[in-house]
Amino acid sequence: MNEGVQTFPGQAGTTVLATQRNRVLRNTYWLLALSMVPTVLGAWIGVQTGIASMMSPGIGLIVFMVGAFGFMFAIERNKNSAAGVPLLLAFTFFMGVMLSRLLGVVLATSGPGTVMMAFGGTAAIFFTMASLSSIVKRDLSQMGKFLTIGAVMLMVALIANFFIQSSALMITLSVLGMGIFSAFILYDLKRVQDGYETNYITATLGVYLSIYNVFQFLLALVGIGGNDD
């Protein structure tokens, strides 16, 4: 007589799904950590060479938009191939270089302490959202469309402020941007944990962009905003 562990219909399938979700989440965290290396390297090279500052603000915006969307398109096209990870890492290097213009301004006006403050604040926000994603049991899949609408409206406002050059509006948009992209971190990680996102490269790309934007807005808020007379 067999005295093995009794199983119930669907139990094995549930275990497999849970294992798959944990693997995707684990790979997402590892790739996210790895992606910070080329980002920091790109930012350092950008600050040292001033390559981003050599471009006029208008040209810089065009290069950023074309480069960022071009990389994201290529990453999504190759997310299931061996080229996916190298493309993602190349993208994060590019994003680091593009961030160097803002970093250079903040370092010149506020010093490295402000950059470290923004980095620490971003890390605290990420760990808070990551913890919430494992605690919250509610399905947050419907939250995505509202966050997307908010992000599009924010982008339109930022482009408008590029011509208006209002410090007060920039501070307001920075606060809103931090809120929107902090929520995006929670949303993207919850999608992995709930099984809606099964590709760790896509998951990493989404979380990386949110962290990048949170850091950028926080840096503008505590750096440029804090030095506005």
Question: Which tens digits make up the pLDDT trace of 153-197?
Answer: 999 999 898 888 888 888 899 999 999 999 999 999 999 998 899
Checking if the pLDDT of 111 tops 90, the result is: no
pTM: 0.88
What total number of domains does the chain contain? 1
Checking if the pLDDT of 76 tops 90, the result is: yes
Checking if the pLDDT of 200 tops 80, the result is: yes
Helix (H, G, I), strand (E, B) or coil at 90: helix
* Spatial CA neighbour of 203 closest among 6, 3, 19, 24: 24
Q: How much of the chain exceeds pLDDT 70, in percent?
A: 90
Contact 214, 182 (CB under 8 A): yes
pLDDT tier for residue 215 given thresholds of 50, 70 and 90:
very high
| Within-domain flag for 149 | yes
**How confident is the prediction for the chain on average, in pLDDT?**
88
| Within-domain flag for 5 | no
pLDDT for 2-58, tens place per residue? 444 444 444 445 676 778 888 999 999 999 999 999 999 999 999 999 888 888 888
* Distance from C-alpha of 177 to C-alpha of 225, rounded to nearest angstrom: 14
| Within-domain flag for 6 | no
* Distance from C-alpha of 176 to C-alpha of 218, rounded to nearest angstrom: 10
pLDDT score for 226: 55
Count of beta carbons in the 10 Å neighbourhood of residue 82 = 7
CA 195, chain centre distance (Å): 20
pLDDT tier for residue 227 given thresholds of 50, 70 and 90:
low
- Domain coverage including residue 143: 13-227
